[in-house]
Amino acid sequence: MHEPGVIAAMAQASVNQGSVAVRIESPAHVKAVRQRVSAPIIGLWKRQIENFEVYITPQFEDAVAIAQAGADIIAIDATLRSRPGNDTMAALVERIHAELGKPVMADVDALESAIAAVQAGADIIGTTLYGYTGETKHLKPPGFDLLTQLVQKLDTFIICEGGISSAAAARQAMDLGANAVVVGTAITGVDLQVQAYHSALKSPVPAPTRSTQLRDYHLAIFDTPYLPYREQLIGHLTRTNHQHPEAGKFFDPISVQSTPLGLYLFDAEGTMCAGLAGYSQWHWLNVEFLWIAESLRYQGYGSKLMQQAEAIAQQRGCQYVKVETFDFQARGFYAKLGYQLVAQLNNLPPGFIKYQLVKSL
């Protein structure tokens, strides 16, 4: 699949079916595509350089090679990470403009790097590196939250790239204000698609644990999971929910996205001493787990973790926090932090009580 001729054929097929441009990696691939495609080419060169994390067209000499191969636009890593060579990100943008006469697409991971790229003169901003840097590795593309920030804060051409795995996701990106969308593996990943089909077709359908008749229908009862049936059920339910008059609010792509949150406390030897894990979704922060080592309890560490989590939740636009605790755990602790009891589930498990508590931010 990495052969230049194969890449060029996929690019031509994409343009034939309506792609307005293609994004191509390495001089050899750009050259092969240029011979078959007249549409604009966003070119880049992934170069691994020792002691540096920046790898998308990291130096001016890489940009020169891409331009000479026939690219119309040069994509570069525009994150705030340290760079090889003497050129800063701003200097690299300036040289590409002045010496190569090419527009620059700045691949960013966060709003801060996007603002810096615009100030440096970048012509296009892409969400390409969302989830791929040390600061964002806990986030999963597509970066719809970052896209929304870019649309609100910047007056420039914005491309949503990374994690677009369906036509529906591409449509969501455009509805959120993207000027264009780059789709990668979902189109070119023939090997992964075949692998997925192969796995699904090779998985035997398990026999039901038991079955019975409900009027004219056959009811199959399973005690073991079968993923295709589960996914089919979820798909039917999702389509039904989308028919609701308020579905646009319920399925807003920003709020429906589940974003993990993890806060972990380590001692000087690297041993975990405390931690909090959860996720934000639908403007709520859900705290799933909170643990403090016995030697650190009653010293304020639990409160500090919760306060930090609440601050991050507010930054993400959350309005509420939800926690659950058993009767032998920490109801009083959460009450002191302002959490209100909203539900009490008796005998879950038998002989115990589970409490659900909520706090407004």
Residue 38 has a pLDDT of 96
Cα separations in angstroms, 318 against 43, 148, 285 = 38, 15, 6
For residue 319, the model assigns a pLDDT of 94
Average pLDDT over residues 326-335: 95
**What CA–CA distances, in Å, run from 199 to 215, 227, 228?**
35, 11, 11
Residue 255 pLDDT more than 70?
no
Q: What is the pLDDT of residue 257?
A: 72
CA nearest neighbour of 89 among 124, 133, 119, 45: 119
pLDDT value of residue 275: 95
Confidence of residue 256 (pLDDT cuts 50, 70, 90): low
Is the pLDDT reported for residue 144 higher than 80? yes
pLDDT higher than 90, residue 137? no
Residue-range domains of the chain with CATH: 4-190 (3.20.20.70), 204-252 (no CATH), 258-360 (3.40.630.30)
- pLDDT reported for residue 251: 65
| pLDDT band, very low/low/confident/very high, at 228 (cuts 50, 70, 90) | confident
Residue 247 confidence (pLDDT) above 90: no
Number of H helices, E strands in the chain: 14, 15
pLDDT, averaged across the chain: 91
At 154, is the pLDDT very low, low, confident or very high (cuts 50, 70, 90)? very high
